[in-house]
Amino acid sequence: MDALQRTSVGARLASPAFGALSEGETNPAPTKPLSPLAPEASASQPAGGHHLLVDFWVADAEPLRRVATWETLLPDACREAGATVLGGRFHQFEPEGVTGIVLLAESHASLHTWPEAGLVTLDVFTCGALDAHAIVDRIRDALAPVRERITAVDRGDRAPDAARSARGPASGEALPNSASGVPSP
């Protein structure tokens, strides 16, 4: 893919909340390294990160209905938590509901809303020193959920089974939650 094609892809992915790009424009360089695993970040940083799967049920579904809420709320929550926001894309469903993603130098944050059920689901994956919980805390503060469910998953070298092998399980060895359904000893 040449530079012009990359710019065109970037231009199509930019949303108005992040300043749509004109043909030939590129995103400004972030103030932090693009890769949180770059030598500037830490030579001892493990590959992988923390992944939070979040369900928030709210009494007031109004913030879940319109894309404008999320074009501001999600990137602002990421920035306030110390993330480097690279861009984002949001979509308004008719008659209501939103899906969206914010691309971070430290990974991503995404969401989907079901206003009719008072439900927003978030997917927040961070690597490096960025705390995924800090992003979720800011969304929680804004929405005041009446019920929540959060599943935390360590990914890559941060996962409990990562010490077994850098290449994955040995031939025939099943890991917990594997397709075979048989946990490893």
Q: Would the pLDDT of 82 be above 80? A: yes
pLDDT at 181 over 90: no
Catalytic residue among 22, 127, 171, 180, which?
127
127 has pLDDT over 70: yes
What DSSP element (H or E) covers 174?
none
110 is an active site residue: no
CA 185 to chain centre: 32
**In this predicted structure, what is the pLDDT of residue 141?**
98
31-41 pLDDT, tens per residue?
A: 544 455 444 54
Q: Which residue has the tokens 């929550």?
A: 77
pLDDT higher than threshold 80 for residue 169 = no
Q: What is the pLDDT of residue 9?
A: 32
Q: Which of 8, 35, 110, 112 is catalytic?
A: 112
> Which residue segments constitute the domains of the chain, with CATH numbers given?
48-155 (3.60.90.10)
pLDDT band at 77 (very low <50, low <70, confident <90, very high): very high
135 close to 150: Cβ distance less than 8 angstroms: no
Q: Among 107, 171, 178, 184, which one carries the catalytic annotation? A: 107
User: Of residues 129 and 149, which shows the higher confidence score?
Assistant: 149
Q: Look at residues 78, 46, 54 and name the one whose alpha carbon lies nearest to residue 150.
A: 54
Active-site annotation holds for 42: no
User: Does 152 or 7 have the greater pLDDT score?
Assistant: 152
Name residue, tokens 């359904």: 181
Q: Is 159 left (phi over 0), alpha (psi -120 to 50) or beta?
A: beta
Q: Is residue 15 annotated as a catalytic residue, yes or no?
A: no
How distant, in Å, are the alpha carbons of 27, 33, 104, 132 from that of 66? 26, 33, 22, 24
Distance (Å, whole) CA 120 – CA 137? 14
pLDDT at 24 over 70: no
pLDDT of res. 161: 65
> What's the pLDDT score for residue 159?
73
